[in-house]
Structure 1
Amino acid sequence: MKRIGVLTSGGDSPGMNAAVRAVVRKAIYHDVEVYGVFHGYAGLIEGQIEKLELGSVGDIIHRGGTKLYTARCPEFKTIEGQKKGIEQLKKHGIEGLVVIGGDGSYMGAKKLTEHGFPCVGVPGTIDNDIPGTDFTIGFDTALNTVIDAIDKIRDTATSHERTYVIEVMGRHAGDIALWSGLAGGAETILIPEVNYDMDDVVARLNRGHDRGKKHSIIIVAEGVGSGVEFGKKIEEATSLETRVSVLGHIQRGGSPTAFDRVLASRLGAFAVELILQGKGGRCVGIQSNQLVDHDILEILDRKHTVDQSMYQLSQELSI
């Protein structure tokens, strides 16, 4: 194999640039040309493809977002869209593709592999919701962004003796909420994977207030519901002054942590190794600090789960 491509797709995550850098430099080290596909699968269909050199990925390891840009592309879900992408790959002589993104990106990689183009998926998403890997690229950075916000909000909550509801990202996965809530000492954590009892939440707040506690922090994953609406319910049920902070897309940005830079570098380079061996339909990950790869179909068929023991611990420590 003498020419491969790399693209980023779906939501951006800190560390994607480090992964792109690793793919390009690992490939060039092995005398393989690398072409960057800009704007994800939409750019693939439109032929937004350029050759990348060593200097093309210089000075990006510390930058958030993605140099290759990203976009959603419903058209690529169709056979017609996939055929257009394949035509562009053939036109540029690309023999294999590294796809950096989440489960939607993996589905595109699976389709291309079925059409005869070996693809390897690299898990890039802040939600940490890809099975087969302990961590995804960007999760650690997003987690630290949330923790920093919680610490700052707690200062205000303490000063004004208020209850604060903080809504974090996680439509289908509660990892950001669970990890940040445990690290930030939240009194209550609500995640999509676990049903909550409003009476229990209210009882916790009242118990704390009765023993002299002046403020509380509640972390709500967006997949559970609106933090604003939940804050209204809390105030009505407890009569405690309640404020709501929705962190939103601030969680996606920022310079990646050292952990995410190293993780992205390792996974990006490992993906190139698999591609150069002609292996397609695979996705890479890290488990117990060891690099692993799985059949992409197996991963797409599996459901992400949170660590229930961590959730239980958060309950025990927030009595």
Structure 2
Amino acid sequence: MSRRIALLINPSSGRGQGMRIAAEAVPRLRDAGHEVEDLRGRDADEARDLVHDCVERGIDTVAVVGGDGMVHVAIQALAGSGTRLGLLPAGTGNDVARYLDVPRGDTAAAVDVVIGGRERTIDLARAGATYFLTVLAAGFDAVVNERANRMRRPRGQMRYNLATLAELRTLRPIDYVLELDGEEQRLAATVVAVGNGPSFGGGLRITEGAELDDGLLDVVVIEPLSRRELVRTYPKLFRGTHVHHPGYHHHRVRSVTVAAAGITAYADGERIGPLPLTVDVVPAALRVLVGR
């Protein structure tokens, strides 16, 4: 059966990889009998408007050619609609692709997931008026992101590395007030993260165990760490074994308010805004195409 598919392309994803993937995907989708539209927004606002238009016109699937940031743009319009999210990974982190079992680095296999049409309905999280799919970072990692965004150079991963080193030199506990389903906690921590899914930042499994369709958020708190402890704990995040750290705490809630002075939160790798923020789960908010 023919379906209408819109490709939302981020031309800059993967240093131009997005354009190459789109060029390979379009004929493959058309050969499978699909009608394909090419969408390219000049910025995030225009890209979101293009997706809104797809929803209003009843397009079956918006397939994002990009990474988690471009998915973040798309879900602002797709949330609660009947239009499905497909994904052709072209970013650097690609945590959403990991969630959905979409092959990374194999365009033909990723296109086959879209063609196959295997569907799942998942939750989203909402911070204020902004939806996110992966993790909201509101601790040391958010502080590093904020510093990196203020730096003009160098470009790429090295800027993030330098920002991390700079923040390590001044590492200190952050004082938080958390409200977990109405129960208030006052505490000091190095990391506070709110997960709809289990990972962010290219496979850092900070909210290990989070499920996309359980109607709950996973809130992780890691008590104050020394510089040495933080550096030693970081590699464990890729395996999810940080859960054994004595300062690790995990809560499952429907709503959480996170407050801390001077902290700006990030979600899906995008700047969300300063704390305090209230995050709610939005159950069954998004239809997605999955590999299995």
Q: Kindly indicate which of the two structures has a greater share of residues assigned to strand.
A: 2
Q: Kindly indicate which of the two structures has a greater share of residues assigned to helix.
A: 1
Q: One fold, TM greater than 0.5?
A: no
Higher CA-based Rg: 1
TM range (shorter): 0.3 to 0.5
Query: Normalising by the residue count of structure 2, what TM-score does the alignment of the two structures yield?
Result: 0.36
